[in-house]
Amino acid sequence: MKTLILGAGYAGLAVATKLKPMPGHEALLVEQNPFHTFETRLHEAAAHNTRVTLPIEPLLRGTGVTFEQASVEDVDIDAREVTLKDGRVLTYDTLVVGLGSVTNFYRIPGLAEHASELKQLSDADEIYGFVNQVYSGEYQGNRDIVVGGAGLTGVELVTELAQRAEVLSKARGLPPFRIYLVEAGPKILPILDEPLRQKAERVLREYGIEILVGHRIMGATESSVTVQTQGGEQKVIEAGKIIWTGGIQARDIVKGERLEKGPGGRIAVDEFLRAKNYPDVFVVGDMGLALNQEGKPVPTTAQHAGQQGRLTGKNILHLVRGDALEPYEPTTLGEFVSLGGLMAVGWMKLPWNQKLAITGGIAHVMKKASEWRWRASID
C-alpha cells in the first residue's frame, strides 16, 4: 500500500508524524518548502523577524515516511495521479490532501495586485522589510499601514506592528506610523464573546490603532484603499503598505468528476474525513469541509487541522492493518488571541461545555502552551 501526503501544514505534518513503519506500507510526504511554518505565528515574524519554521526531515525520523521537496501542479483523483510542477507524475493507493488555502480577495478591484498577504514566510519577510525601511531614516514615501480584515490574523498582526513601531520610534527618534484596521463587519474578532472582544478592542485603541468597523474596502491602488461605510459614504486612505487578511478559500487544485464542494471551495468529506465518493482520498485542514456534531462546518484553525491530521494518520494505520476506521469528532479546546508582547485574551473549555475567559499574561501563557502541545505532538 502506497500513501501519498500532500502538504506539510498543520494537518499534513500531523498525518506524517503519526505514521509508523509497517510491512507492506510506504508513505511519501510532498511539500514545496523544506520546513513547516507555524502559520499562527506569522504575525510575529512580520513584526519582529521571529523564527517560525521547523525543518521537516528531522521530524520524520522513525515514521517510515519519505520526504520530497516539490510543488504540486495538479491532483486528478479519477486517474489517481498527482502531477508535480517539474512534470513528474506520482500515483497512490491512499491519498491525503492537506495543501491548505489561498487568500480570497473577493474580486475587489486592485486588491490582489497591490496588497500583501500573510500566508507564508515570504509574506512576513516582506512586511518586516517594509517596517525596517520606514525606520531607516531615508524613507520618503507614505509610512502608514492599512490592514484589511479584523479577524484573528488581522488583529494579531496590527498589535505586533504597533508594538514594533513603538520600540523603533523610541530607538531612532522617528514618529510611529499610523495603523488602520479596516473591517466590513460591525465588530472586530467576531469569534470572541463580547467581554473579551471589548477588552481586545480597548488594547488596540491604547496602541493608537485606528479601528474602522463597518467599512468595506471597495478598491486598492499601489498607495491607497477606497473604503465605503454602511451609509454609502466613500473615502480614500493613503498608505505605504496594504495588507489583506480578510478571507481564505481552498486551493482549487483537486479535480474529480464526482467531487463535492461547499463554501469557499472546501471539499465535502464523510465522517472519516474522506472526500465524498472517493474513499481512498482523505482531505484535511483548510481544504476539507468537515462538519461538527451540530452539522456546522468545522473552523479552519490550526487546532482542528492538527486533530484531523492525527486522526487520519491513525486511520491510515488502521487501513494497513485491515481494521475499522475511527470517525472524526471535532472538539474546540479554546481560542486565544495574541495582542502583542505578553498580552492576550481568550477562553478555554471546561467540563459540561462551560468556558473560562482569560486575559492578560495568563492568556498569553495559555496560547503559548497550545503551541507547545502542537510541537510535542509532532516530535
- Enumerate the active-site residues: 156
Q: Which three cell numbers stand for residue 34?
A: 523544506
Q: Which residues contact 15 (CB under 8 A, 6 or more apart)?
A: 5, 96, 98, 282, 284, 309, 310, 312, 313, 316
Cell of 265: 471551495
User: What is the CA angle 238-239-241, rounded to 5?
Assistant: 160
Report how far residue 9's alpha carbon sits from residue 35's, in angstroms, rounded to the nearest whole number. 9
Amino acid, single-letter form, for residue 85: K
Helices of type H across 135-272: 152-172, 194-206
Cα angle 236, 242, 245; round to 5: 115
- Alpha carbons 107 and 91: distance in angstroms, whole number: 35
Distance (Å, rounded) from C-alpha 254 to C-alpha 249? 13
Decide: helix, strand or coil at residue 156: helix
CA distances from 92 to 3, 19, 369 (A): 6, 16, 37
| Three-point CA angle 183, 44, 197, nearest 5° | 40
Alpha-carbon distances of 178 from 3, 161, 171, 237, 281, rounded to whole Å: 50, 10, 17, 11, 47
